[in-house]
Amino acid sequence: MNDNHFIRGRVPMTKSEIRAIVLSKLDLKKDSTVYDIGAGTGSVGIEAALSMRQGSVYAIEKKEEGCELIRRNQEALGAKNLTVVCGSAPEALTGLPVPDRVFIGGSGGRLAEILDLVREKNPQARAVITVIALETLAAVGGYLKDRRLEAEIVSVQVARAEKRGSYHLMQGQNPVYIITIPGMIQEKSCCI
């Protein structure tokens, strides 16, 4: 889905190229229960909801501006199977149905707590995490190592053309690490 379909504000949004990879890595089923944690504008959760009308998506966002943008985007795009949850993870996850797919686009520095709660709810849940800060990447690596979990890590660099006079110049976007934990049961060794 093109980024211009979403109402934007000052809230972060997972861009279309990264969103396509994230949705592929989530490997959604027609009736998946998905958490979109740190949902921002809701772009990942809304696109997931639209692709699996029998499933349920819970878009968790702690900023009120983000919650309002998700609601507006949900209404504009017709994502009826998406529920907006205003609050901070992991606390906001406690009363929600058990997920089988989890996307973490923002954790507020509480990634380990969030992943531990997801593992407690469903050790088989597939988790996909996007990371742009090296400190967060190190935190994910430490988490995987400490809990002896396997993961796939992909680094993506996207550039977009911008018109400058009569020329089009490629402008690099932030590199993004996409970490996929296929099922969060304990494994023999770790990838990092």
Least confident interval from 12-16, 49-53, 167-171: 12-16
pLDDT at res. 5: 86
Q: Specify the long-range contacts of residues 104-108, CB closer than 8 Å, at least 24 apart.
A: 104/37, 104/38, 104/128, 104/129, 104/130, 105/12, 105/14, 105/36, 105/37, 105/38, 105/39, 105/40, 105/44, 105/130, 106/12, 106/37, 106/38, 106/40, 107/37, 107/38, 107/136, 108/38, 108/62
Superfamily of domain 3-181: Vaccinia Virus protein VP39 (3.40.50.150)
Per-residue pLDDT band for 184 (boundaries 50, 70, 90) equals low
Domain ranges in the chain are 3-181
pLDDT for 97-142, tens place per residue?
A: 999 999 999 999 999 999 999 999 999 999 999 999 999 999 999 9
pLDDT at res. 187: 47
pTM: 0.91
Phi, psi of 144 (to 5 degrees): -60, -45
